[in-house]
Amino acid sequence: MAHELAGKVAIITGGAGGIGRATAKLFVEEGAKVILADLDVERGEAEAASLGESAIFHRTDVSQEGDIEAVVDRAVSAFGGLHIMFNNAGIVGGMKPKSTRLIDADLGDFHKIMGVNVLGAMYGCQYAARQMVKQGGGGSIINTASIAGVTPGFGFQIYRASKAALINFTKSAAVDFAEYAIRVNVIVPGHIRTTISSYREPGMSQELADKLEATMEPIWFANQPLKQRGQPLDIANAALFLGSDRSSYSTGGIISVDGGITAGDPVNHIQEMIDARASVLAAQ
């Protein structure tokens, strides 16, 4: 089969993390040249090395405009251009808050989280588009949001707001960049098996991490129609579609890869009401 991304150059931010790594591997398998852009030098360099000559690592803090400008320049100097920008780096903020309630929340991380999740992606869109325009237009920009940006609720208030902002921004960028045939879409992952979602702590044993995962699985599945855990490759596959010419008519779109979480509540409340009514009446 022909390589879907032959001749394309991609930057993947958060490239040393679970979703970024899986995407980098798939993109390289599909013929792309890839730059893994991440804060984590050790893991980033190791991942890039494992992918061979088609991948390089570039230390990048996406919240710093100069770093984004530099990584786009690196794509041009190392691989001759830029065709796909995957703004995927993201942080959640405190994974062990004292309370999930807004009334108790510590909002001190606001600027840090917004700086990475929103401003980082904005810089990514802007500098990628400038390069794509220089090349004569065309290209694909992909942002990673979250179910947290679509389903309001308890906890992670800043993270939810950041991902909702990113979804709205994606659509504005899509409208704005259409003139240059640059497409901008956003992926909404559900519960994907990576460190960000496992409540792991650095140094935790695999055995303990597995135990934590198993304990939390029923909680994750409670609001998810499909009872299976998402894998990084599920998101990578969506990124491959959006990065390739197969999605040439898609811009401003939201692809949910979330086991149906944003489709609706898997609890059959209507049946529960009918059953409850029947049992009250039967007891008369």
Ligand X SMILES: NC(=O)c1ccc[n+]([C@@H]2O[C@H](COP(=O)([O-])OP(=O)(O)OC[C@H]3O[C@@H](n4cnc5c(N)ncnc54)[C@H](O)[C@@H]3O)[C@@H](O)[C@H]2O)c1
Residues in contact with ligand X by the rule CB under 6 A: 13-14, 16-20, 38-40, 60-63, 88-91, 116, 144, 146, 189, 191-192, 194-197
199 is catalytic: no
Q: What length does the chain have?
A: 284
Measured CA to CA, the distance from residue 281 to residue 278 in angstroms comes to 5
Minimum separation from the CB atom of position 249 to ligand X (A):
25
Minimum separation from the CB atom of position 7 to ligand X (A):
26
Minimum separation from the CB atom of position 196 to ligand X (A):
3
- The residue annotated as part of the active site, out of 123, 127, 159, 180, is 159
Task: Identify which of residues 180 and 199 has a Cβ nearer to ligand X in the complex.
Answer: 199
- Work out the number of other CB atoms within 10 angstroms of the CB of residue 95: 12
Per-residue burial over 247-263, b = 16 or more CB atoms within 10 Å of its CB, e = otherwise: beeebbbbbbbbbebbe
Task: Identify which of residues 3 and 200 has a Cβ nearer to ligand X in the complex.
Answer: 200
Q: What is the DSSP letter of 79?
A: H
Report the candidate in 245, 35, 240, 2 with the shortest Cα–Cα distance to residue 139: 245
Measured CA to CA, the distance from residue 225 to residue 111 in angstroms comes to 34
Minimum separation from the CB atom of position 62 to ligand X (A):
4
Report the candidate in 146, 144, 173 with the shortest Cα–Cα distance to residue 251: 173
Task: Identify which of residues 16 and 28 has a Cβ nearer to ligand X in the complex.
Answer: 16
Measured CA to CA, the distance from residue 155 to residue 7 in angstroms comes to 43
Measured CA to CA, the distance from residue 134 to residue 216 in angstroms comes to 48
- Work out the number of other CB atoms within 10 angstroms of the CB of residue 110: 14
Task: Identify which of residues 19 and 48 has a Cβ nearer to ligand X in the complex.
Answer: 19
Report the candidate in 55, 18, 59 with the shortest Cα–Cα distance to residue 35: 55
Task: Identify which of residues 16 and 24 has a Cβ nearer to ligand X in the complex.
Answer: 16
Measured CA to CA, the distance from residue 223 to residue 219 in angstroms comes to 8
Task: Identify which of residues 5 and 89 has a Cβ nearer to ligand X in the complex.
Answer: 89
Measured CA to CA, the distance from residue 146 to residue 165 in angstroms comes to 11
Minimum separation from the CB atom of position 259 to ligand X (A):
11
Minimum separation from the CB atom of position 39 to ligand X (A):
4
Q: Is 195 helix (H, G, I), strand (E, B) or coil?
A: helix
Contact at 8 Å (CB) between 139 and 87?
no
Catalytic residues: 159
